[in-house]
Structure 1
Amino acid sequence: MYDQLTIVAAVANDISASAAKLTALDEWNTVARDALPTHVRIWLGMMFLNNLAALAFVWRRVAARWVFGGFLVSHVLVIGGYWGSGTPILAGQVSLFHIIFWTPGIVALVVKRSEMRPWSAYSVWATLVFVFYAGSMSIDIRDAAVFLTHILSS
């Protein structure tokens, strides 16, 4: 188990370092995402699919509802903000939405952890949520702070 966590931490650290080339005040758009290294785009794609996989559990698991709801709301706000107003969405703004809307899902998974049975589809999915969110939050916390500092000082 310790070896697996070490590998996950190393991968998350590498993803974080590679994604850091996109700063918090850069636009988060197709051009920016396409410029990310391939392994970061794969990480983002796998995280997206894992979030969608919450749909397999939403009918029977409260925590999955929170995870999917946070994922949905954060994406609707980003898409609505970009398409709805034409205002550029900044990477730090996306990070802030992740922190605000993904945290309740993580809390729900911790609170409802007794529902997880070893090696069940649900526990594997929940573990992947933790891995992806930890990797994402390693970037999001810093970028959200930069974004908020920028907004408050403007």
Structure 2
Amino acid sequence: MQDLMAAWQADVARQPQWVQHWLDIMVIVLGGFSLVFSFVRVEARWVLAGFLLGAATLLGLYSQIGYSRLLGLAHVIFWTPVMIYLLRRRAHWRVKQTLSGKWIALAVMILTISLAFDYTDVIRWVFGAR
């Protein structure tokens, strides 16, 4: 597992700086903050589950195929249902009243941007861009 993580970190380090920062933002907002808010918000538990399942699947794929556009499939599979769930619950977010509501709005923005990249990458992979 250490070798896998070292290889992953090396491949990420070869990406443009903005990609590295984007990955950091996703880990902090979707991973870290969802853990904190999971004690008070069901939405955060969904985000945390999607994040963890997506990360585990991504690393599993990475161990088999390396760094490829197809890695976005892990996010597509697990984050799409989370996004649908969050949007269906938007009447319960309470963005103006709570910090957790503001976090949900931020998480939805990050998921939207990430999924746009991920769907594009997977579609490009299907059409031959490896």
Please give the range of the TM-score, normalised by the shorter of the 2 chains: 0.7 to 0.9
- Contact kept in structure 1, 2:80 and 2:115, CA below 8 Å: no
Question: Which residue of the partner structure matches residue 98 of structure 2?
Answer: 120
Residue in structure 2 matching 1:80, options 38, 60, 69: 60
Question: Quick one: distance in 1 between partners of 2:60 and 2:102?
Answer: 32
Residue in structure 2 matching 1:57, options 31, 37, 40: 37
Shift of 1:75: 0.8
Question: Which residue of the partner structure matches residue 84 of structure 2?
Answer: 107
Q: Structure 1: which 5+ runs fail to align?
A: 1-27
User: Cα distance 1:138–1:81, how it changes in 2: closer, same or farther (>3 A)?
Assistant: closer
Residue by residue over 1:63-91, the C-alpha shift from the partner in whole angstroms, topping out at 9 and shown as x without a partner, is 22221111101111222344xxx423343
Question: Quick one: distance in 1 between partners of 2:67 and 2:124?
Answer: 11
- Contact kept in structure 1, 2:61 and 2:71, CA below 8 Å: no
Work out which of the two has the higher radius of gyration on C-alpha atoms and give 1 or 2: 1
Question: Quick one: distance in 2 between partners of 1:91 and 1:128?
Answer: 27
Question: Quick one: distance in 2 between partners of 1:127 and 1:97?
Answer: 22
Aligned partner letter, 2:64: T
1:67 partnered with 2:47? yes
Question: Quick one: distance in 2 between partners of 1:46 and 1:119?
Answer: 24
- Contact kept in structure 1, 2:43 and 2:104, CA below 8 Å: no
Q: Structure 2: which 5+ runs fail to align?
A: 1-6
- Contact kept in structure 2, 1:92 and 1:144, CA below 8 Å: yes
Question: Quick one: distance in 2 between partners of 1:123 and 1:103?
Answer: 20
Larger RCO: Structure 1 or Structure 2 (Cα < 8 Å, ≥ 6 residues apart)? 1
Question: Quick one: distance in 2 between partners of 1:70 and 1:147?
Answer: 23
Q: Where does structure 1 differ by over 3 angstroms across 4 or more consecutive aligned residues? A: none
Shift of 1:113: 1.5
State how many pairs are aligned. 120
